[in-house]
Structure 1
């Protein structure tokens, strides 16, 4: 199986799509960006742009003709409304590889898979598995990464601006973290290693750490004085999330409890095992390198890189 060349990217302007596009171009893929018909986004001259109606299979099939691979970087809400049709269109158009919008904690973990947060992602994987079984020339790869390091140390669990931190269950549970750039590298590497990555999930991270260690790294960068640190319970956060969903809420404060459990809960797969870093040519960061990344995120001139 030869490496792919022509790649269509959906969601190219989003949080995940931006680094994916950057690394596809750096690795000399022939990239076509799928944009909504009313999009005002602009792209480098080397990028082809196809305006599509994500609610029309006919529009998507036409746009995907001749493409070797499709990478979906759709947002969580768009996965539920658009990714199924994008998968079906890719199959009909003769696309050889589909990478769904995964790029998060491990939804292959049975405990985490029960969370409604991951229902759209799991539905996409089941659809891809079924398509691969009935279409021998169609394959897929999902990319599992754990949460974004920058989000963890600036918003989700640690806030260096307000000097607050929530160390769930004491903050000593090991979990995986990733940079957005690494997600871009991983996607490009998957498409360069089609045989080794076909019809399975690949797992990649930048490092493993704990909330307590990451807090120490942030404090080393911004100072230790004036912090308010709490140690809430993972199970209480999870119980609150379930209660909110049962009450009909699905806003971010509600679903955050599922995110907490997926990364910080015991047995939910927060620490990725059997990672594919070596296959994909992505090094795991040392403690010193992780400290440097944290410092760049919280005090660096460019904080958008995470």
Structure 2
């Protein structure tokens, strides 16, 4: 495919992303993305929301009310938008994204960030063994098949506060029983991000020029990541780092905790057994354990490089993030 340049675009073309639609702008990750986009002052942000939704949109986000069973409402809401960000619960009906893709194509939206956050779906073994990669790849094929829209995925690793609060199946931390389950030796590093950093990453990306001005313009643009993953992270850390941060924040001592070790293979297989028995948390155990395999598959930044510097992302303080995770746990957070 020949490169596109701003100098070759029709009269009236503005080389920036000004209009962004967000699905799930009132939810966990969507709220942070929408908020950071508004903060730049460079974008008009529209939140696609069902009329009966109880989620409140962040300040500065314009609502566009939609009905997923009425495509005309989706097309109308997306008309004139330049970038569509989709964030939704994994519990959403599986055809919801497909409806959005088709509507985006009819509305002429050039870019879509689908609901594919997390692990590196380009890694074949990881994609297969986490059972997530093929789902994401199917979505990307659907977007490309429109012949109108292109995709950009945010590969950000696990979400820190969410993972800390969800239970021992994730990072091994069980606050209630004061146990920590280390996978192998607990020293395998993986990419982890905060919701805030994900929001800043999307805002940073969409604040770049859309296209290079011409062949001599080699700076980063939105089109740099056209039909490509965007790799970012807040931290590249291991379970030992997480436990040390937790103890530093809480003042806990080693002797107050029960420490267990389990091989990654055994933990993964135990997760499969739980899932086969109907325990959905078995899948969570599979997903997280696979990212901590000692072959480094969870450290996609090591393989592909991170775009943190290019997007101007800050270095975050792990202990400050742990404090926020602790508050989230103490609030009684439950994922639905």
TM-score by length of structure 1 reads: 0.87
Q: Deviations along 1:237-296, whole A, 9 cap, x unmatched?
A: 322344455x484x53121132223421133621122111111111344xxx32343244
Q: Does the Cα contact within 8 Å between 1:153 and 1:214 map onto a contact in 2?
A: no
State how 1:139-154 maps to structure 2 within 5 Å. 139-154=150-165
**What corresponds to 1:276 in structure 2?**
307
The 2-side partners of 1:215 and 1:283 are apart by 23
Distance 1:49 1:117, change over 3 A: same
Secondary structure at 1:167's aligned position in 2? strand
The structural deviation recorded for 1:299 is 6.0
Q: Does the Cα contact within 8 Å between 2:26 and 2:56 map onto a contact in 1?
A: no
The 2-side partners of 1:235 and 1:88 are apart by 41
The structural deviation recorded for 1:44 is 5.0
The structural deviation recorded for 1:231 is 1.3
State how 1:119-138 maps to structure 2 within 5 Å. 119-131=134-146, 134-135=147-148, 138=149
Say how many residue pairs are matched.
295
The 2-side partners of 1:277 and 1:77 are apart by 30
Distance 1:162 1:22, change over 3 A: farther
Q: Does the Cα contact within 8 Å between 1:262 and 1:268 map onto a contact in 2?
A: no
RMSD: 2.5
1:240 is aligned to 2:254? no
Q: Does the Cα contact within 8 Å between 1:55 and 1:82 map onto a contact in 2?
A: no
Secondary structure at 1:116's aligned position in 2? coil
More helix by share: 1
When Rg is computed on C-alpha atoms for both structures, the one with the higher figure is 2
Distance 1:220 1:300, change over 3 A: farther
State how 1:134-213 maps to structure 2 within 5 Å. 134-135=147-148, 138-154=149-165, 155=167, 156=170, 157-193=172-208, 194-213=222-241
Unpaired segments ≥5 residues, structure 1? none
Q: Deviations along 1:33-65, whole A, 9 cap, x unmatched?
A: 111132233335632211111233332112211
Q: Does the Cα contact within 8 Å between 1:296 and 1:302 map onto a contact in 2?
A: no
TM-score by length of structure 2 reads: 0.79
Q: Deviations along 1:208-257, whole A, 9 cap, x unmatched?
A: 11101211111122111411121123212322344455x484x5312113
Q: Deviations along 1:153-193, whole A, 9 cap, x unmatched?
A: 44332234542211111211011111110010111122223
Task: List 4+ stretches of structure 1 deviating above 4 A.
Answer: 299-304
The 2-side partners of 1:242 and 1:263 are apart by 15
1:34 is aligned to 2:34? no
Unpaired segments ≥5 residues, structure 2? 1-5, 7-14, 209-221
